[in-house]
Amino acid sequence: MGVAGRSGVCEKRGMLQAITIPGLLVTGTDTGVGKTVVAGAIAQWFLRRGMVAGVCKPVATGCRHEREQLVSADAEFLASCADSRHPLDIICPQRYAEPLAPSVAARRAGQPLDWAAIDRSIQLMCIGCQAIIVEGIGGVLTPLDELSTVLHMAHWLQIPAIVVARPGLGTINHTLLTIMALRTAGVPVAGVVINRYPADMPSVAEETNPAEIEKYGKIPVLCIVPEDKVRGPSVPVEIAEAVEMVDWARIAGFSAGMLNAG
């Protein structure tokens, strides 16, 4: 499932087009690390500055049944944060009910991943937007189908990746492995966000991990986001304040001229 040497497979599957507007891919070291709240907070950062940021979660599992369709709670949250005008089935074009890896969920549902639908959604999301925030699923080696992982999607999109990581023991290894995989695939890695950092009494590991990640990963820890125990329909103030300190427009690829034009 390596990224290199897959041109024939990509042609058959309708390889995703590279994104041509400023954008960010929010990925993580694992499932459940808080990619969605970080992606939503970044989308809200753009919104507060009067910029239109499209949001997309190409694939979601563990979706709920609502009437005759599946709904992704993550897509709902992203739509709310970005004040998106797009319907949820465009924000999240591939949805599965079982909370499993997409390759397994798709196989069990008898519904193979539709790459053309994902590509259409991403390209539609770019129209009329000044930036796009794409949220991955699981970690970078999470299989999306029999031949592709999140890493392939990152390679195809060619936008800077933000790695969301846990604060505690073990996160150095997980984060550095994720960064290595992205870099080996030719994906630009903009930085790391440490999420769910304890507000009171952090452990020695939690206190020292950010500096170790920066040292050995040769990458900035962009911000440290406090723990969010209950996720509501919007980004908590404490998380918004942590994300506020970062120039996400510059990281996404805005030039000074583009910002002035916006």
Query: pLDDT at position 67, please?
Result: 86
**Residue 193 falls inside a structural domain:** yes
Query: pLDDT at position 255, please?
Result: 72
Cα–Cα nearest to 168, from 223, 208, 134: 208
Contact 57, 92 (CB under 8 A): yes
Query: pLDDT at position 228, please?
Result: 78
Least confident of 15-24, 30-39, 196-205, 226-235: 226-235
Structural domains in the chain (count): 1
| DSSP codes, 147-208 | S-BHHHHHHHH---EEEEE-SSTTHHHHHHHHHHHHHHTT--EEEEEEEEE-SS---HHHHH
- Is residue 258's pLDDT more than 60? no
Q: Quote the DSSP letter at residue 55.
A: E
Average pLDDT over residues 90-98: 98
Least confident of 14-18, 110-114, 145-149, 178-182: 14-18
Query: pLDDT at position 260, please?
Result: 47
**Residue 180 falls inside a structural domain:** yes
Distance CA 36, CA 38 (A): 5
Q: What is the pTM of this model?
A: 0.92
- Is residue 44's pLDDT more than 80? yes
Average pLDDT over residues 41-52: 96
What is the domain range of residue 150?
20-261
- Is residue 6's pLDDT more than 50? no
- Is residue 126's pLDDT more than 90? yes
| DSSP codes, 85-100 | -S-HHHHS-EE-SSSS
Active site residue 215: no
- How many residues belong to the chain? 262
Distance CA 226, CA 195 (A): 6
**Residue 11 falls inside a structural domain:** no
Query: What percent of the chain lies above the pLDDT cut of 70?
Result: 90
Tokens for 57, please give them: 């979660």
Query: pLDDT at position 117, please?
Result: 96
For 151-210, what is each residue's pLDDT tens digit? 999 999 999 999 999 999 999 999 999 999 999 999 999 999 999 999 889 999 999 999
Cβ contacts of 24 within 8 Å, gap of 6 or more = 42, 131, 132, 133, 134, 159, 160, 161, 162, 190, 248, 251, 252
Contact 224, 208 (CB under 8 A): no
**Residue 230 falls inside a structural domain:** yes
Average pLDDT, the chain: 91
Query: What percent of the chain lies above the pLDDT cut of 90?
Result: 85
Q: Quote the DSSP letter at residue 143.
A: B
**Residue 14 falls inside a structural domain:** no
Query: pLDDT at position 262, please?
Result: 44
Query: pLDDT at position 7, please?
Result: 37
CA angle 7, 11, 17 (to 5 degrees): 90
Average pLDDT over residues 214-237: 89
**What CA–CA distances, in Å, run from 260 to 51, 100, 151, 255, 257?**
11, 44, 33, 9, 5
- Position 261 confidence tier, pLDDT thresholds 50, 70, 90: very low
From 12, 35, 57, 215, the catalytic residue: 57
Q: In what order do the strands lie in the sheet with 23-28?
A: 53-56, 131-135, 23-28, 161-165, 189-197, 221-226
Query: pLDDT at position 10, please?
Result: 39
- Position 115 confidence tier, pLDDT thresholds 50, 70, 90: very high
> How many CB atoms sit inside 10 A of residue 228's CB?
17
**Residue 15 falls inside a structural domain:** no
**Residue 80 falls inside a structural domain:** yes
Q: Quote the DSSP letter at residue 114.
A: -
71: domain CATH number is 3.40.50.300
Average pLDDT over residues 120-142: 96
**Residue 48 falls inside a structural domain:** yes
100 backbone dihedrals φ, ψ, rounded to 5°: -130, 170
